[in-house]
Structure formats: C-alpha cells, structure tokens
Structure 1
Amino acid sequence: MTVSRHISHLTMKKKARKTPTVRIILLYSFVISFLFIGTIFVYQYGQYRTLEKRLTDAYKAQQLGSEDLNYLFSTYSEAENMFRLYTLDFSDSSYYAYLDKLNLLKSFVDSLKFPFAHSPQNNPALKVLDQQKIALEFAALKMRLDHLVIHTSDSLGLLTSNISLSPPHTPEIESVVNHVLKDTTKKITADTIVRKRRGLLKRIFDPKDDTIVLTREYNRLDVERVTELKKSLSSVQMGIEQSYINTIDKLQSTFLKLRGKERELVTTNFDLLNELKKSMEIIKTLDVYALRKAEENNFSLYRKNIDVFGKQLIFALALMLVMIAALVYYQLYATSYERRLHVEKDYAAKLVEEKTSVLANISHEIRTPLNSLLGVVDLLKNRTKSDNIDRKLIDSAYYSINIVSNNIADILSLSKLEASNKGNISMEYFSPNRIFLELVTLHKNQAELKGLQLETAIDIDPRFSLLNNEFRVKQVASNFLSNAIKYTQKGKITFRASLSTANDGQRLYMEVEDTGIGITEPDQHQVFRKYFTTNANAGGIGLGLYISKIMIEEIGGNIGIKSKSTVGSIFFAEIPFSDSRMETHEHRKATLSDLPPHLRLLVVDDNPINILLMKQFFKGLEHIYTVNNGEDALVLMDERPFDLVITDIHMPGISGIQLLEKIKTDERFKSIKVVAISADISTLKYAEEAQVEASFDGFIEKPFTEAEIVKTILKALS
C-alpha cells in the first residue's frame, strides 16, 4: 500500500515558503495593532484631561459665581435690615449705614457688569441670547440700584431735616405784674404829688381837705389795679393757650406729613428693594442655568467620549482578541508544522535507511511476475507440438505481464503525474460499466488463483457514457482491485459502482470491499502517502494508492478509506462529471474486420519485436508498411500515399512528436492521420494534454488489445 508522500512534501514546501510571510504579516499586524491601541489610549487620555479641565473650570466658575451671588445677597440682606432699623428709630447712624450698604451694592454690581473670567456673561455654555439677557439684567439691576440710592438720598434726607416750630409766646408773670403795678404807681404818684383839682364850683361849694381826697383815691386805685391784673393775667393765659393750640396744630400737620413721607419712602424703598431682589434672583437663576448648561454640555461631551471610548475599547478588545487568536493560531500552526517537520524528518531518515529495501521491493515486484512469465513461456515452448494449451497458463502470463507493466508505468509516470497541469486533462465520453467489467475480468484469474471470490455490483446502464478522463478512472479502479487481491488471503472481494446526484452535480461512485487484514486507525492517515506499505512482507512498492489519490484529485474527485483491523477494508472514490449521454446501441467490442479493407497503414517503431507484433496483428490488411525510424517514414511517405501513420514516441533521430510536426506542416500530408503508440502511457497522456499546435489523432498504449487499437484507428479516421 502507498502513501501521499509527494503531496505532503509539496504542501510542506509551500507552507515553508508561506511561513516567513505569515510571520511578517503577524509582526506588522501586531505593530499596527499596538500603535492603534496606543493611539486610542493617548487620545482618550487627552480627552480625559480636557474634560477634567472643563469640569474643574466649571466647578471653579460655580464656586466663584456662588460666592459673588452670596455676597450680593448678604449685602442686600444687610441693607434691608438697616432700612428696617431706620424705619424704627430714624437715627442718622441707621440711615447712613443703610446708605453705605446701598452704595456697596451699587459698587459691587458695577464691578459685575464688566466681563471677567468667571462672569456669568462669559460662560461658554450660554448662547448669545442668554448672554444678552444676563447683560440686560445687570443693566436693569444697576439702574434700579442707582434709582434706589438717589431716592434714598433725596427722600430720607427729608426726614432728617429740622422742622422750625415757633415756641408759644408766654409772657412772664412778673413782667405782667410789674407792668400793671408800674401803671398804678404812676397814678398814685401823680395823685399824691399833684392833687387833682376839682372844679371851681365844687371847691367853692364843697371845700374839703386834699388829704381826704388822696386816701379815697388810693382805695379806688387798688381795686382797679386788681381788676387790671386779672385782665392781664387772663389775656396772658389766653395767649398761652392759643400759642399752644397753634403749636399742636402745626405739630399735627408736620406729623401727618412725616407719616405720609414715611409711608411713601418705605413703600418706594420696599418696591425698589423687591425689584432689586428680583433682578438679583434673575441673575442668580441665569447663573445657575449657565452652570447647569455647562454641566449638561460637559456631561454630554463626557457621554460622547465615553461612547466613543467604549466603541474604541470594544474594537481594541476585538483587535486584541484577533491578535490572541492569531497568536494561538500561529502557535498551533507552528506546533503542527514542527510536528509535521519531525514526522517528515523521521520519515526521510527512515527512507534513507530503507532505500535499499525500497529498491529491493521494486526489483522483487518486477522480477516476480517476469519469472512467472518466463516459466509460462517455457511451458508453452515445450507444448508447442500439443494442441491442448492450458488457458490458465495464458491468463497467468497475461496477468504477470500486466503486473510488470503497471509497476513500471507507476515508476515512470510518478514524476510526470506530480508535475502535471490539472487544467489540461483531456476529457472524453466512456462507458463506466464497460471499463469496470473489463477490469474485473482482467483481475478475476488472479483472484481465483488465490481462492478468492470476485463479485461485482455495478448499478450503471451499459449504454450510459459520461464525460471524464477514462484513463484515470480505469487506473484508480485497477489499483483498488490489485491491492484488495494482494492483501486478502481468504473470503471475497466486491466491486461496486453507481451514480449519484449531489448539489454540485452528478457523481460516479466506485468502491472495492475486501475481507483482508484491514488497516489500523493510525495507518489509515498514512495509507495515501508515497512509498507507504502496512506490511513489507506483503509486497508492493507503495505507489499505487498515492498515484490514485493524485489522479482522483486532478479530476476534481475525492478518495477515502473505511477499515477495521483484521476485518477488512473499503476503498472508495467519488468522481464528478459535467455531462453524460445514453448510447443508442449497446457497446460492442471492435475487431479487425471493422477496419476499412483498403486501409493504407504505416507503422514506425525502432523496436524489431514491436514491428513483428504489428505485422502479425495487421496481417489481414493488404497495404501495411513498417519502418524503424522517422527518416525512412518520411522517405516512404514521399513514394506512396497513406491513410494512417502509427508511430512510437521515443525513437532515435526523428522522434514521434517531430515526425508528427513534419507531417502536419506539410501540405501533401495534411490528410494523413497520425496515431501515437508507446509503452509509457504517461508520455502519451501528457503529450496529449500539452495541447501543442500539431496534435495526435489518437493514442495507443502498449500493451494493447485488438478492440482498443481498432477503436482508436476508427476514431482517428472518422
């Protein structure tokens, strides 16, 4: 049994050539992956730092904004408290404290209206309209503060101005009394010193003493003085009362004015303070809105960065997974490759050690059938006078010749099979039923000699023909049968063939089942390798199954084995075919009588035995000529016409291919058909597949049968 040694060798060579490429690709992939992942992390770190800076700035802005607004509100609260205190005591200290707080608020708002780093107006999260709105609110706040300060200075100053109230004029009692007494004293002095002189008549008629008159006058004056004093006191009292009444009225009027001013001032101040508070709250709301907007923007940016980073991280992880998978694959690949290298190394060492044994096996496989053939021929020579020739001797000789021919063909065609071009395989219609029956007939004698039953189960119509390479299909089936007979000591061998339909088209299935020694599981993986045999004592050179595998793969099929040790084996092959047809009549073996009776035939061969054989074979034809080289063939063709030339391939001088080219390029010989004949079937087939400009009209393999050569000649002539 044989091994697919060459395929493994070629595969390993290809893989060995690919290994540096794979390493370079993996190296560059790792470098690029590292740079990519590094770029991702550097970029994300930069984004992280940028986002951190933005969040820090936003936090600082929030702190500064909160401090400014808190200071603004605390100052406002202090101003409001001072105002309330002033409304209670109306003291100058409370008033000026309130006015100072208002001026402080005004100065602080004036400082806030200018754009600075942490001003709410400069917050990048705000839109232009929002920034304009904040600016307007600052302007309104400043205007209200200015109005409040001016109003406070004007209105509250009114309350602090002195009210000029005239105190009531109250004459002192002493002055009144002195005034009254002063008047009375003057009368007394005048009466005392300057007596009042009465009228003349009274003095005449009533002369009295002046002293009496003075005393009476004095009493009269005291009564008047008391009365006058009472009147003066009453007048003073009434003046005092009137003065106090006027003062009270004036105080009441002033108090009412003050009450009105107070209400107006308190109301106005409270309104202004409320408006100021509203403006401050609006600014605070806008500042909070700006901070929230900045936080939203930063958070949105953060989420976007997180999403991008997540995708990049997933991609990086996937890339790392691919890298790990590549490393694992490369490790497995390298391990497998190293294991195969060790196996191949051991096998090569084994081949070197067993080279002599292999050559001995080849020599044995060739000499054994030759010795058998010599014995048969010797018996036939001794029985030439007897008409009773044993048919089995003839069959044995024929089988031995086929064994030698197949072994030599395997050896000679091995290298050409390995280097063949799969795309140039010639296809032809053939009947699988016919070739399988011919093979079974060929091997049946050898099976009977070993006491084996050779059965067939060919489920194919004899008229069915398919398009494929007949030579390869026939060779593989022959190798299956030869191996089965060789490794089976008792029992039977069954050849099966059938047709099947799969998704990719029609297939020809064939298998050979035996009841031989079987093949162990480890050997089943080696059985299609070159020079592999399971039993060195069983014979064989280990090429048949290897060549069969190459042939089946060349025509797009597959080959396999199913076996159990000591039970038997089944070798099978599936062969696809693209076209088929049914012959109108059943195939009949061609004979020499089918050739045209006046066929003009020229045989060119350098081997005298082959010339003798051809003469004996075509002795029934009238016009058959033979020459032993190409030069004589051309000379003879100049002398007489021919219908067909059968030429060997390998000849001294002009070879068969050169003779073909000369015939096909000469206008005189264009009608002549040229058929190639050779014992080296690989030479025939690969010359056919070379697709040279001048191609043969047919091919005949040595040894040939009557049916094969007649069929080839008829096909060439047609």
Structure 2
Amino acid sequence: MPPPSPASLSNRYILAVDDRPDNLMLLKMMLESAGYRMELADNGPAALAQIQKAQPDLVILDVMMPGMSGYEVTQKIRNDPQLPYIPILLISAHERSSVVKGLDAGADDFIRKPVELDELQARVRSLLRLKQSLDQQENFISCLTHDLRTPLIACDRMVDLVQQGVFGEIPPSVKEALAGVSSSNQNLLQMLNNLLEVYCYEMGEKTLSFIAVDVQALVTEVVTELNPLALEKQLKLTCDWQTEVREWRCDRMELRRVFTNLISNAIKFTDTGSVTVSGTSDPKTLLIEIQDTGVGIAEADQAQIFERFKQTNHNRSGHGLGLHLCQQVMQAHDGELSVRSQPGQGSTFTISLPLSST
C-alpha cells in the first residue's frame, strides 16, 4: 500500500491547544496555509470537551499550561477507551521539558519553540500519515473478516445440506471428503470470528453487558457440552465446585467464551488422564482452575502464550488468537488469567475474578 500523498492529507482536522492566544494564532496561520482545518482551545478541559464533540485527526498540545498541563491532557486522551487513536504532538518553549515524560504519557512526537514552519508542517504530515495508515489497516481487517465470513457461512450451510442428502444419495467416500471440507471450513470460520473479536477489543469497540451470572451453573453447562469430546478421547472431565460463591457480575457470553476455550484446549492437549474444573474463593477473589494431565507447556512459551499470534511449538497449536482473546475478556472484567505448567506434567489455567465487582 503506497504512503498517503501530501494532497490526501490536506483538509484534515487539527486541534491546537495553548494558553497563549498569540501562539494559537501562529499555529493556525502556519497550518491553514497547508490546507488543514484548525480548531483552537486555550486550556486542557476545553480541549478534552472539544475532542468529545468532534474527534480530530491530530492534537497539538502546549506542555506548560496552567491548571492542566499538556502531559495530563495527553494521559486523559490515551486513557479514554471510547476514543480511537489520535496522534499527539507536544510543543514547548522550555529546554527542561521532558521528552521522556511526554512520550511515556502517550505523545507521539515532541517539538520545541520557536517553531520553524517547515519542521512543523513536516512533523504534522508524518503524524497524519501514521493516523491514515492505522485507519486503513483497521478498515482492512474489519472488511476482511466480515466479507470472508459471509461466503464461509454460505459454504458451511451448503455442505451441511449435501451431507443430509437433500440433493440425493451420496456415496461413503464423498461423505468422508465432505466431512473434511466441513471441518476445515469450521476451523477457518472460528479463526475469523476470533480475529474479529480481538479487533473489537483492541479498538475499544466491544460492548459488554454486565449482569449477575451463576458462574457455577455456567461452568457446569460448558463442561456438559464438551464432555463428548473428552469421552471420545477416554478422558475424565469433572467439575469440582468448593465454594459457596456462585454469582458474579459479568458478560455471560464472553465469560462462557473463556471457559469454552480453556476447557476445550485442555481436552485437545491431553491424551490420557483427566481434565478438572474447580472453583474456590477467598474473601476478595473467586478462583476457577482448569487443570489437565496433558503435554504441558515449556517455560519459554508460558511467557508469551497470551500474546496474539503467538503459538507453542506443539503440532496441535492453533493460530495464537484463542488465549489472547481470553486474556482480553479477563482484562475487560478486571480479572486475571494465568498459567502454571511443566512439560509432560500437564497445565493449570487460573481465572481470578475480583469479588469486589459483584
């Protein structure tokens, strides 16, 4: 994908924030001459209110402002999960202003006064190119997942109809081939669904519905649903609930997604023995553990299995999205997901749910 041309970056909306009117007018003149649309704010709270009204393509912030500094405004923008990514350029007249502090707060670039026209316009173009590139990537992922799901679902339904004999009797060899097609199609569809969910979480576009959920009943429901997979491998799948705590406020479908992923993974990576789901609690935390007697996970892999697209070296590893998505769900619920494991001795995944949230 070629980089955006300067012409394609014109007419972008830039918010400039400075407590000195003369500085604001200078920035306005410098950037409007390059074709940008400018809005001005003379303090941090006014800038944040303006961003909520109309999200700019770039924010230029003076560092030293009374009441709320540019560092503080930057942090508030970055900590707002409802805002998309907005590039931030910090600007200061003081040599002692900390570049490190600004970048750690979430700024993307730093420029000092007196500002040279060419340098300012070059930095603005650079940040707007970054914004446009990220926006294009997000749109590409969203379109890719949605547009691919439609034909996959249609294909899956057609294969199912053929398998049912709707279009006539089919020989055993064709049935076997169709089963393979159906399985591959389901795997691809699951991967796309996971990719779309991860995208929604990471872009802050996931909407959760928090209600009081009977967690023990939910765990039992998932265990019952997955028990046929365990029986097929002659594994013992059990649920051992040892706490009186049952209800917890959460998004039921998302918590169910986590239980399903972790328990099905435990079955997948266990050839002999058992998978046990247990529930315990202390005054502050509800703990749910999924323990298996499977192949285990090497210590080097444990540090990265919750990262997206990170896979272990085991030949049954998936696409590296499932555990990352589980971690995203837990973080959205202020919970934690961790693992203890030794190769050849099984794994234990622990879900920690804060009871203060119930």
Give the alignment's TM-score, normalised by structure 2. 0.48
Which structure: greater helix fraction?
A: 1
Give the alignment's TM-score, normalised by structure 1. 0.25
Larger Rg: 1
Report 1 or 2 for greater relative contact order, CA contacts < 8 Å, sequence distance ≥ 6.
1
